[in-house]
Structure 1
Amino acid sequence: MTTITSVTLEVADPSASTLFHTAAFGLDSQVQVRASDAPSTGFRGFTLSLIVSQPSTVHSLIGTALDAGATVLKPAAKSFWGTGGVVRAPDGTIWKVATSAKKDTGPATRQIDEIALLLGVADVAASKKFYVDRGLTVAKSFGRKYVEFATPSSPVKLALYGRRALAKDAGVPVDGTGSHRLAIGSDAGPFADPDGFAWEKAPVRIGG
């Protein structure tokens, strides 16, 4: 089974981005950064989601993200499916923080249960086939709207969403050009998918 070992954001200032991830969300090795000046405008075609256990954690993480310099795209709010909010980091990455829980069940924490990378694609069915052909296993699939892959040993989950639907969910216009400014490290790379998302061969880890 294909394993995603890393997600690398290509940013103008790696040090500043690393500081943001630590201060905003308490992340360290789950999301990596590297320097890039590749041209990119508008929606970069992906979002990163932090899945948490209760609404107070959503509000806590959104609050520290704003304190660290993020801007609000969608304020944290309740909906029929739970509680969530969306922010844009100073490096341009869009982060969603969400829970399916409607009420807190204990003291507020900052624990992140899952990190998910959502790729906005032109044709969900075609991209699904592309990835299945490269060794990924489908965990959930909702027709041509959404696909989630089974990556149990990966630090970041992978899902596909229609590009227009993902932009709407993030609260941004769908238009965007240039680099995605994203690289996915795995044991399946290197290749580029039909929407130009770059996959790299994961580096060999020494010492476990």
Structure 2
Amino acid sequence: MPRIDAELQTPGRRLRSEGKKTAILDAAESLFVSDGYERTTVDAVAARAHVSKRTLYNHFSDKEILFLRALSRVNEALLSTIRAAIDEELTTGRDLREALTAFAHRIVDRAFGSSDYLTFRRLVAQHQSVPRLPDAIRDRPLGMLEQRFAELAADGTIRAPRPRLAARHFTALTISLAQEALSDYEKQKDAAPPDLEAIIADGVDAFLRAYR
């Protein structure tokens, strides 16, 4: 077995290593967003992070892995926001309309308005050559909502024999429509802000007519 260098195992050394890793990811995320995947080089990331190219390669084997790790980090932050919204808004015993409305607003207001979401959207919206997260990771938000809807169906709160389809319908009727309205608003000059409250309210009404 290879000898383990005791110096590498000290808390101080590990802390410095993690600090460099974070600096590399911060630099990579910034450059991927500003310059794009194709134009961003490993040399540029190392220079922005104030580390050697060798140090960068000690943590990340190539640019594709670096991009995916940066994307995964942003995705994890978004997933935390979604998980908290599910746990704190879609609670047992709460009025269903109120719970669904609060959940949708929380995702739209906090997730879409966060720097994590803006970074995520800019990263995934790049050229087709940009590496993609595995489907299992990209489907996790829908999977979390599906699980909660399955619980609501089990206790009779909603009628959803196919909880995943119910989750897709709810997302399409509320969060996706709000996202589209925000995206259209960003592209238009002098346009009035979208009425997100009305979009979500109408979507929740449509969902409840189908599933309650």
Shorter chain as normaliser: what TM range? under 0.3
Report the TM-score when normalising by structure 1: 0.26
Structure with bigger strand share is: 1
**Higher RCO (CA < 8 A, seq sep 6+):** 1
**Highest CA radius of gyration, 1 or 2?**
2
Report the TM-score when normalising by structure 2: 0.26
